[in-house]
């Protein structure tokens, strides 16, 4: 890899994730179980959630399937998850906003286990 290519790759990594702010999601439990994954890039890491329907569309339920789908398509839209307090004070993993992921900047996809309740997204 040439110096120019490395710099270009690093610059691409700086633009790795396009955060697309969306309206606050309505929490619906009828979409099936939400599975969390940690996406690690050269810049940072985030937690995303994919529901049963979304996982079926990419052809698998594990981190490898998510990574393959991202590599094959070059980009993917998913819900970013973050910890928030429920009305009763309990902590839970909840959808924060939709994000666009770019394959060229995602270094690793890992399953993410949370001891908190995970809310479904739209």
Q: Which two tokens stand for residue 58?
A: 């990419």
- Into how many domains does the chain fold? 1
**Distance, C-alpha 17 to centroid of its chain:** 10
Share of the chain above pLDDT 70, in %: 73
Global pTM value? 0.72
Residue 87 confidence (pLDDT) above 80: yes
- The helix/strand/coil state of 109 is strand
Cα end-to-end distance, the chain, whole Å = 42
Which is nearest to 66 in space by CA: 96, 101, 17? 101
pLDDT digits (tens, 9 = 90+) for 41-50: 888 999 999 9
Provide the domain limits for residue 22.
3-118
């Amino acid at each position: 890899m040439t110096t120019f290519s490395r710099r270009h790759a690093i610059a691409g990594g700086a633009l790795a994730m396009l955060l697309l702010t969306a309206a606050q999601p309505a929490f619906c439990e009828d979409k099936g179980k939400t599975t969390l994954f940690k996406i690690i890039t050269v810049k940072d890491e985030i937690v995303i959630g994919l529901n049963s329907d979304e996982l079926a569309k990419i052809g698998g339920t594990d981190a490898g399937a998510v990574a393959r789908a991202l590599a094959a398509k070059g980009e993917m839209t998913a819900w970013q998850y973050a910890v928030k307090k429920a009305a009763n004070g309990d902590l839970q993993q909840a959808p924060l906003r939709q994000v666009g992921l770019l394959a060229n900047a995602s270094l690793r996809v890992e399953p993410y286990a949370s001891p908190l309740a995970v809310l479904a997204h739209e």
